[in-house]
Amino acid sequence: MNTTTSADSSTDRPRVTVTTSWDDGHVLDPRLAALLSRYRLPGTFYIAPRNLEFAPADRLPAAGIRELAEQFEIGGHTLTHRRLPQLSDAAAAEEIRTGRIELEDIIGRPVTSFCYPRGEYTPEQVQLVEQAGFTLARTVRRSSLAPGRALELGTTVNAYAHRVDGPLALRLAAGRPWRAARLFLAWDELAIHWFDRCLREGGVFHLWGHSWEVEARGDWWRLERVLAHIAFRPQVAYRTNRELLQLAA
């Protein structure tokens, strides 16, 4: 079937950007990085170098972070992955700042992108992130093809099946129950659906996740399926999160 969309027939094809980001700094991150490399996809790895939610042996060590930094952007994710709204402003500022300093010491380069742990933050903490020298900050808001504000960057799809995506799947499937069920049950289906829509309409397709979660769910094949689908597209600009700055509001 050869359907001609308005986007295809116009001389100005929609501008399509693909970016990916991966949180926490886990020992499985290099496995994810190898997969991105295979498909020549960019990635931003947001790392909390002393993440208290991981056993020390599960934290990506400095040598691993340096190795990732050779090919990918490294972003700040606080020092210990504390929930920012539970901290005083002074303590939050310290977490944000010291996480950045530790990463910069490890990789020997400026770290300018940040990700709020669990996507939790207060309006005041957005200012703290900016004051700490970050120019871009990612949230965990999904289902967007518009990058949004630079310090509250949205995303498109999480590499994880969220139960709350049921109504969204039904809407995206335009009421077709079988299609909705597939979108709901499989995040790879949802990701491919969003990417194809981005190709038609233009925008930023932002896939993000956690290597440890992909492992826990046995989802490496789903991730590879999505990466294979979104890679090597001549009409797509592949960018790190940092490079989205020029597209953000």
Provide CB contacts within 8 A for 47, sequence distance 6+: 24, 25, 60, 65, 74, 75, 76, 77, 103
Of 132, 131, 152, which Cα lies nearest the Cα of 141?
A: 152
Nearer CB in complex with Zn ion: 138/242: 138
Least distance from Zn ion to the Cβ atom of residue 116, Å: 8
| 3-state SS assignment for residue 179 | helix
Helix-helix angle 62-69:89-107, to 10 degrees: 70
Residue 23 sits in the site that holds Zn ion (CB under 5 A): yes
Q: Residue with the closest Cβ to Zn ion?
A: 23
Provide CB contacts within 8 A for 183, sequence distance 6+: 165, 169, 172, 173, 189, 190, 193
Number of residues that bind Zn ion (CB under 5 A): 3
**Are the CB atoms for 205 and 19 separated by under 8 Å?**
yes
Q: What is the distance between the alpha carbons of residues 39 and 85, in angstroms, rounded to a whole number?
A: 37
Least distance from Zn ion to the Cβ atom of residue 186, Å: 23
Choice from 18, 22, 24, 25 touching Zn ion (CB under 5 A): 24
Triad 133, 137, 142: Cα angle to 5°: 180
Nearer CB in complex with Zn ion: 17/211: 211
Least distance from Zn ion to the Cβ atom of residue 77, Å: 6
Least distance from Zn ion to the Cβ atom of residue 82, Å: 11
Least distance from Zn ion to the Cβ atom of residue 117, Å: 5
User: In the window 76-135, what residues touch Zn ion (CB under 5 A)?
Assistant: 117
Interface region with Zn ion, contact rule CB under 5 A, candidates 19-27, 63-71, 85-93, 233-241: 19-27
Nearer CB in complex with Zn ion: 75/117: 117
Give the footprint of Zn ion on this chain (CB under 5 A): 23-24, 117
